[in-house]
Structure 1
C-alpha cells in the first residue's frame, strides 16, 4: 500500500484527494495546508469542470493534518508526496520531498520557470538511484479523448494529420494567486501549458512557435493563440488558450483534428463529446467517461508499486513544455517567430 500525503488543498489538491479514493493500492494518510479551513475540509475550492475541486467527500478527520508542509514531508508514514501548491512553491517542496526519500507527484506546471523545473529534474534523477519515482501531472496525456487521439495519430488509422486545432478558454478564475501574473504566469503558463504539452506529446518538439496574445487580468498573457511550426511536410498545428472571457462564459475545451481520411472533433459540452466524420458519415466515438486525474494517479501508483519510472509523461517532458511556453511568451513580446 502506497501512503500518500497531499500538500496544498486548493482546487487541484481536492481534485487529487477525490481521485485517490478510486485508485487501488494507495491511501491518503496526511494533508497539509496553511489555511485551517482547507486542511480540515471546512473550506472547499472549485474548478473549471463540474466535479473538479470538490474533494469527492474525502474524510479529512481520518488523516493527519499539518499546517507546515515540511512536517508532512518529514512524516515517516508518507511514502509519496503530492505537491499541489501555488506554482512558485513547486521547486522548493518537490526537491525537499525527493531529498527526504519520498516518491513525488507535482501538479502542472512543473515549476514557475524552465530553469526551476530543471532543478526538480536533476533532483529526481539523483533520487532515482534509490528507487524513487517522480511525475508531473500533465493530465491531458491521460484524458480519455486525448488518449484516443494520440493512439489514432500513432497508428495512422486515418492517415497523417494535416491540421490540428486545440482550444481551452474560460473566464478569469478567482483568488489572489490568479490575479498575480508573476506568481501564476497568466493563462499562458497556468492553462495553456496543457495544450502545449499535448502538442509536443502528439507531434514531437516543434521547430519554432509564432504566438499572439494579450494581458487583461494579470501582468502576463491571459489569452494566447499559437502556431507550432514543424517544418516542411509537418502538420499545421494551432492552440488557443485563455481566461480572458467575461464572467459567466463558462469553460470550453475542444479539439478538431483533420487527418487525411477523417476529421475528429472533441467538445466537452457536446453529447457525444467525441465525433468522427469520414467516408461513412458522422458518428460518435466510444471512449471512457470521466476526467484524466484518476487514470493519471492510478498510473503513478502503478509505477511506484512496480518500481518503474513513468514513461507516459516524464519530468523532462514537463520541463520541455515550459521551454516551449516561454518561447511563446517571447514571441508575443517580440511579434516574431521564436525558434526552439
Structure 2
C-alpha cells in the first residue's frame, strides 16, 4: 500500500473533531489552525498580573516524599531564592522523616526547609491535611495511581501544582486529569508536568527545527529505551497487602500503570511532541521473560508497539527493563528531506540539506529537571501562565493504549482508549483495604473495557 493510500485509510479512523476526546481538536484550537512545535511546548502565555510578587516568599508543600519528591523539592528550592518548603505529606512517616533529613543536609537550602512538626502529615489521607494549609504550590510525587485524585484535590483547594509523570494509570484517570486541567485554566492555576524533555534546551531546539521542516514530512520514527531492572523490597512481618504493594509500587499496575506508563511515558511524550500529533491507533506485544516471580507483581518486562498516525506516518516504540542486558537509548526520525538521530536526551544529529548537531562531544548534561522548575516560578512571579495538563494527560493515554494493546493482543484506537471505562483504583483506600485482584495479562484472553 502506498503512502498516500495508507494516509487516507488512517485518516478515516481519526476521531471526529466534534468529539472533545479528539487529540487534534485541542491543539488546532490552541494554535489557530496549524500544529507547530509551539503547540506542544510548555510556552508561557502573555504576562498577566503576577501571581506572587517579587518580594513574597513562595510556600511549597510536598506530597510524596520518595526519591523523585526529594529531587523535585531540591529543584524548586534552587529555582527561586524566595521558595520555602513549609509542609510535607506521605503515607509513611519513615519516608517523610528520611526526606526531611536529606533536604536539611543540603547546605545551600537548609535555611529554607522550614517544616514545623504540625506541618508534617502522614497516612493515606495526609494529602488532604496538607492541602488545607496555606501553601501556594504543591509538588505531587506519590505513586501515579494517586495522581488524578491528588491533582483534583489540589486544584479544588486553589493550589498551583507541579505533578510528576505520568498523569494516570487508566483512562478514567486521564479523563479526570483533563477535567482538572480545564478547571485550573478557569481559576488561573498552574499545572507543570514532570515530562521534562519539553523544558530541555536540546529537545526544544531539535523539535523546533523538525517542525520548521529540517527533515521534511516525517514518514516513520523509532524510539528505543532498554534499561536494567529495579529494586524489590522484601515483605516485612505484619505488612498489609496495601503497605507491601505501596513499598513496591513499580510492580503493581493499579499503582504504576506498568513501566511502559511509569517510565517510558517520557519517550512516548517526546515522540508525540516531535510528530506534532497523537496516534489514531496502535498494535503491540510484550510479556515477562526475566521478571516472572510473584515479587514482581503484575507488570511486563518488555514491550514493542507500532503506532499509526493520521498523516500516514508510523512510530515503532520498544522498551524493556531486564537485568544483565545491553542498555540502549535512541530515537530515529526519517523524513522526506533528511533524518534525525537522537542518543539519550541531549544529543541530536540532523542530516540532509538542513544539517545540524547538538551535544556532540561537548559533555552536555540534561537540564530539563531544573529548567521546568525555573520556568514555573519565574512565570509565577512575572504574571505568565503555564498549564501542561493537556499533553500531560494525552501522552499518558498514548502509553496506556499501548499497554492495553500488548495486554490484550488487539489493536487499540485512540477513541477506544479515551472512552474506556477502565478504572484501576479502589474507591476508598485504607491500610487494610483488599488490593485489586490482578493476574498477569495474557494476550488473547485479557480484555479491555
CA–CA distance in structure 2, aligned partners of residues 155 and 308 of structure 1: 26
Asked if structure 1 preserves the Cα contact closer than 8 Å seen for 2:75 and 2:369, the reply is: yes
Please, what TM-score do these two structures have when normalized by structure 2? 0.63
In the alignment, structure 1 residue 70 sits paired with structure 2 residue 128? yes
Q: Is the 8 A contact 1:83 1:105 kept in 2?
A: yes
| Pick aligned residue for 2:401 from 306, 327, 331 | 327
Which residue of 2 is the match for residue 242 of structure 1? Answer: 320
Query: Are the counterparts in 2 of residues 20 and 26 from structure 1 also a CA contact under 8 Å?
Result: no
Query: Which residue does the alignment assign to 2:5?
Result: none
Q: 1:283 to 1:184 in 2, by over 3 A?
A: closer
Contact 1:3 1:80 in 2 (8 A): yes
Q: Which structure has more RCO (C-alpha within 8 Å, separation ≥ 6)?
A: 2
The CA distance in 2 between the partners of 1:214 and 1:251, in whole Å, is 19
In the aligned structure 1, how far is the partner of 2:107 from the partner of 2:222? Answer: 33
Secondary structure in structure 1 of the residue aligned to 2:189:
coil
**What is the distance in 2 between the residues matched to 1:28 and 1:112?**
31
Aligned-residue offset at 1:324: 2.2
- Three-state SS of the structure 1 residue aligned to 2:226 is strand
Deviates more, 1:220-229 or 1:64-73: 64-73
What corresponds to 2:278 in structure 1? 205
Partner of 1:50: none
Residue deviations 1:224-245 (CA, integer Å, cap 9, x gap): 11111124x53332211232x1
Counterpart in 1 of 2:211?
Answer: 154
- Out of 173, 176, 182, which is 1:116 matched to? 173
204-213 or 318-327, which deviates more: 318-327
Separation in 1, partners of 2:315, 2:228? 24
2:255 paired with 1:183:
yes
The structure with the largest alpha-carbon Rg is 2
Give the Å deviation of 1:19.
1.4
Separation of aligned partners in 1, 2:287 and 2:189: 41
Equivalent position of 2:386 in the other structure: 310
Deviation at 1:73, TM superposition (A): 1.7
For the residue of structure 2 that corresponds to 1:165, the secondary structure is strand
Residue 268 of structure 1 is matched in structure 2 by: 344
- Cα distance in structure 2, aligned partners of 1:279 and 1:187: 38
Deviations 1:98-154 (A, max 9, x none): 121111121111122221232233234234333222232222222333223311211
Name the residue aligned to 1:80. 137
The separation in 2 between residues aligned to 1:198 and 1:226, in whole angstroms, is 15
Asked if 1:290 is matched to 2:363, the reply is: no
Alignment of 1:48-67 (within 5 A): 59=110, 62-64=113-115, 66-67=120-121
Corresponding residue number in structure 2 for 1:10: 66
TM-score, L = length of structure 1: 0.82
Name stretches of at least 5 consecutive residues in structure 1 with no aligned partner.
46-53
For residue 276 of structure 1, report the CA deviation from its aligned partner: 4.0
> Is the alpha carbon distance of 1:195 and 1:284 closer, same or farther for their aligned partners in structure 2, counting shifts above 3 Å?
closer
Deviations 1:160-179 (A, max 9, x none): 33332212221222241112
**1:27, distance to aligned residue in structure 2 (A):** 1.1
Q: Write 1 or 2 for the structure with the bigger share of strand.
A: 1
Q: Over the residues paired in the alignment, what is the CA RMSD in angstroms?
A: 3.2
